[in-house]
Structure 1
Amino acid sequence: MTPTTDRTARPPIETVAELLDELDDRPELAVYADLRVDVDGRTLSVVGYDDVVAIDVPSLPAALSLWRRLPVDPMDAAAVLASVGLTAELRVRGVPVARLGDDATPSSLARRLGLGPVELVPDGVVLAVTRRRG
């Protein structure tokens, strides 16, 4: 038995614009995950619940290092996340410091700092800098 499909063969997606066009008519995503990931000797926690994916790192320098090493441009990441109804939230020891995607309101401070379309959580950044590990 040979499966049949209504899809026609299309060339592979090569740009973010093509990806956004492809995702435009699809329903929003929900993500459920509970992962531990080691990056450069640091253990990160990735938890997905419904439309938020939270990445928890051990320190503010680890968060900045992770941000600088993103494999995609922040504008592209924000656009793709928003197009599928997802928000990525960066946390330092459980405290939200930044958001990117559908539920993020980009701040002018983040743009001036060269962080792109990010919503900074000022209280979270202050807590991340001043809070001691217990």
Structure 2
Amino acid sequence: MATTTKAVGDLFDLLERKPDLLVDADLTVERDGVAFTVRGYDDFVAVDLPSLGAAVAIWRDRLVGGPDAAAALAAAGLTAEIRVRGAPVARLGVDAVPSSLAKRLGLGPVQLFLDGALLAITPRRG
């Protein structure tokens, strides 16, 4: 764990000396047989997943903890939004407004969108 902490600390040191990042991306990524899109526009990155289960799996398997990921994004001047079938379910980074529910769940400084989560679990019509 000390290696991860040191690596994250080194990342923060590096980011603090750099101007904000700008992202321009339009990718389709496949992980464990699940395809999803990553689109970046300036200081905003949207990750759109096909299901809430895929979003939870990616969150559980992340290399950096939620608070560290949110802090790294904020330090870089970036915001990431996690979407399921186009509906926003979470946001972290500089423009996120941390949810008290996320803090109680131990997710760190993450903004949760309950209406987006409800849409994410609603079966698609036709």
TM above 0.5, yes or no, is yes
Q: Specify the structure having the higher radius of gyration (Cα).
A: 1
Instruction: After the TM superposition, list the runs of 4 or more consecutive aligned residues in structure 1 that deviate by more than 3 angstroms.
Output: none
The alignment status of 1:108 with 2:74, answered yes or no, reads no
Structure number with greater CO (CA < 8 Å, separation at least 6) is 2
Equivalent of 2:85, from 79, 93, 100? 93
The match for 1:52 is 44
- Give the secondary structure class of the aligned counterpart of 2:10: helix
Q: Give how far 1:114 is off.
A: 2.7
What number of residue pairs does the alignment pair up? 121
The match for 2:68 is 76
Runs of 5+ consecutive residues of structure 2 not aligned to the other structure:
1-5
Q: Is the 8 A contact 2:67 2:107 kept in 1?
A: no
Provide the alpha-carbon RMSD of the alignment: 1.4
The alignment status of 1:119 with 2:99, answered yes or no, reads no
Percentage of identical aligned residues: 60
- Aligned equivalents of 1:54, 1:127: Cα separation in 2: 17
The match for 2:23 is 31
- The one-letter code of the counterpart of 2:79 is T
- Aligned equivalents of 1:60, 1:84: Cα separation in 2: 27
Q: Give how far 1:131 is off.
A: 4.7
- Aligned equivalents of 2:7, 2:59: Cα separation in 1: 21
- The one-letter code of the counterpart of 1:97 is V
Structure with greater proportional helix content: 2
TM-score between the two structures when normalised by the length of structure 2:
0.88
TM-score between the two structures when normalised by the length of structure 1:
0.83
